[in-house]
Structure 1
């Protein structure tokens, strides 16, 4: 560990530099407008899944984000604006997740008939305590649920054909900048139910003729979310430990709702670089708290999680923020519920 501390800056930042997201300037998932149905465009996977479940045969749902792409660093192109302007609904998370949203919405123009809905409306959001995270401070205090939060996407460079995202969506936050908000609302089944209800209400508003269909499908989805919530509540109340160490600070809502505390290697945006001293402090905390696992996720590099695990002498496990599916998960038929069930089982294992 002494060697690690002396050479921390030299060792850690090169590793952080290779934290390459599986994003880049790839194409959108695409999809065609279908006449005779409610055409819905969604910003990323969880909203797409819920919108598809509630819309059923009455809707045609198009997801902007391609399979295997992490949403924090993705930016839409001009063609995405054109396609969305032809839809009846545009559903996005808000709370600062889609830093490109303000310019995207402006790009559709005043004549576009599409109704835009921020589906995180009504959720009790988690705010930062002051710092915007530019100095990437993520020690013990800086990585807990109510901790300093990283800015999403405001400093990214964008392709010439992409829509710039230097604005930040803060419509729920009053005077609080969006980069002081934890946007990962959907990771808690409790918040996911509010998102689903907002989607259902949006469908009814644009297509009241099929209200009963939307209500019935929402009820089915809501019952599944209630069952998942009850299972998380019951199982996590039994665990002896309550501290988790994660690669990406994406589990604030899950931790708040089920009595856990997260300590994150990186911030709210998974490309954020941690400081060497933060990793040293985390390694010390892992040993002192007898933590056995460091959590990582599939859509971003696991190098830093494995580095910390190696220094602390512990193992790694997946904790999925359900921001998207990998191609393998899509082929296997995975969805929000299967991924969250896997999360629960891994949490139970880690917190024994």
Structure 2
């Protein structure tokens, strides 16, 4: 798959357990479960996973990162030093299928506590057009395949962008919390408390999105990066991707013509691009159709260009931008 993803991977840094010999024997996996300094070393693959580790682990964990802000995670080349850090981690937190280099390194790491976020919620297939929310208002989601969105992730091109749906992200948070409790039982009560607090904040964010997007002039948004399938489905919107999952690729003339028709038919006012990707195609389409442009951030990493300092701030900026573009009433 050919997607540009900027996901900066979070990292819960590798901890060396209280028995150095045991660590060596276990390919770096900590026998005691807590590394140097009494903290749990957690290595995360990219920002959404790092954020969970930091919010749930707080002072009990030491976080490190494999994917630096702005780095394309799919093209990530893991250095020997990072491989060593990964192997010495107490916990590894990643999303299988998103970064092949990470998947390979994790499989060979010998780390005892490995958390694959893809197993903590249900992944689905979403199209570059978001007309897959046949079950709007229901807890379950559409299972139907949609064309134009083959991420190459997981099974049958499943969409990995689960963190952009606060409800799914909360499900992942619960699984991460349980994993940290198991890896560091001495602080289980704190991990449980922190998990509950984070889930509460995500539930409140979900309510903000529901309320903020329930009454809009349009339900369709056009975006460079088709990363918002879960968000669109959750809140009854339609995502139309310019270049599918690869914001760097050039859309065909036929696709541009199709999007112009969609914009006119569905009362679209704005073409979205992301701060870390080229805005060329978005601006071209906007110029051809007389539309405005704005930012919709897939939250694959936080940089100084992000519209917020953390997950919640950026998600609220996304909500504000969507409300403005869709004509929230």
What whole-Å deviation, never above 9, does each CA across 1:329-348 have from its counterpart, x for those lacking one?
Answer: 4xx96100000000111111
Matches within 5 A, 1:186-201: 186-201=163-178
| Deviation of 1:241 (Å) | 1.3
Q: In structure 2, which of residues 211, 229, 240 is the aligned counterpart of residue 263 of structure 1?
A: 240
The equivalent of 1:98 in structure 2 is: 99
Contact 1:53 1:221 in 2 (8 A): yes
Question: Higher relative contact order by CA 8 Å / sep ≥ 6: 1 or 2?
Answer: 1
Matches within 5 A, 1:63-142: 63-94=65-96, 96-108=97-109, 112-127=110-125
Q: In structure 2, which of residues 38, 41, 45 is the aligned counterpart of residue 39 of structure 1?
A: 41
Instruction: Give the 3 Å change call, closer, same or farther, for CA 291–298 of structure 1 in structure 2.
Output: same
| Deviation of 1:267 (Å) | 1.9
The equivalent of 1:59 in structure 2 is: 61
Report the 3-state secondary structure (helix = DSSP H, G, I; strand = E; otherwise coil) of the residue aligned with 1:181. Answer: coil
CA distance in 1, matches of 2:103, 2:309: 32
Report the 3-state secondary structure (helix = DSSP H, G, I; strand = E; otherwise coil) of the residue aligned with 2:114. Answer: strand
What whole-Å deviation, never above 9, does each CA across 1:3-53 have from its counterpart, x for those lacking one?
Answer: xxxxxxxxxxxxxxxxx9697xx9998967450211000010011011101
The equivalent of 2:310 in structure 1 is: 335
The equivalent of 1:347 in structure 2 is: 322
The equivalent of 1:227 in structure 2 is: 204
Contact 2:220 2:238 in 1 (8 A): yes
Contact 2:9 2:45 in 1 (8 A): no
| Deviation of 1:128 (Å) | 5.7
Report the 3-state secondary structure (helix = DSSP H, G, I; strand = E; otherwise coil) of the residue aligned with 2:100. Answer: coil
TM-score normalised by length of structure 1? 0.76
The equivalent of 2:146 in structure 1 is: 147
Which runs of 5 or more structure 1 residues have no equivalent in the other structure? 1-19, 130-137, 155-167, 171-175
| Deviation of 1:235 (Å) | 1.2
Contact 2:43 2:91 in 1 (8 A): yes
Q: In structure 2, which of residues 282, 288, 299 is the aligned counterpart of residue 305 of structure 1?
A: 282
What whole-Å deviation, never above 9, does each CA across 1:105-157 have from its counterpart, x for those lacking one?
Answer: 2332xxx234211113242322268xxxxxxxx6xx6x6455225455x7xxx
| Deviation of 1:296 (Å) | 0.6
Contact 1:38 1:88 in 2 (8 A): yes
CA distance in 2, matches of 1:51, 1:205: 14
Which runs of 5 or more structure 2 residues have no equivalent in the other structure? 16-34, 133-144
Contact 2:180 2:191 in 1 (8 A): yes
TM-score normalised by length of structure 2? 0.81
- RMSD of equivalent CA atoms: 2.8
Which structure 1 residue ranges, 4+ long, deviate > 4 Å from structure 2?
Answer: 20-23, 26-34, 143-146, 149-152
Query: Which region of structure 1 is more displaced relative to structure 2, 193-202 or 267-276?
Result: 267-276
Report the 3-state secondary structure (helix = DSSP H, G, I; strand = E; otherwise coil) of the residue aligned with 1:126. Answer: coil
What whole-Å deviation, never above 9, does each CA across 1:236-272 have from its counterpart, x for those lacking one?
Answer: 1121311111110000000111100100012224344
| Deviation of 1:280 (Å) | 1.5
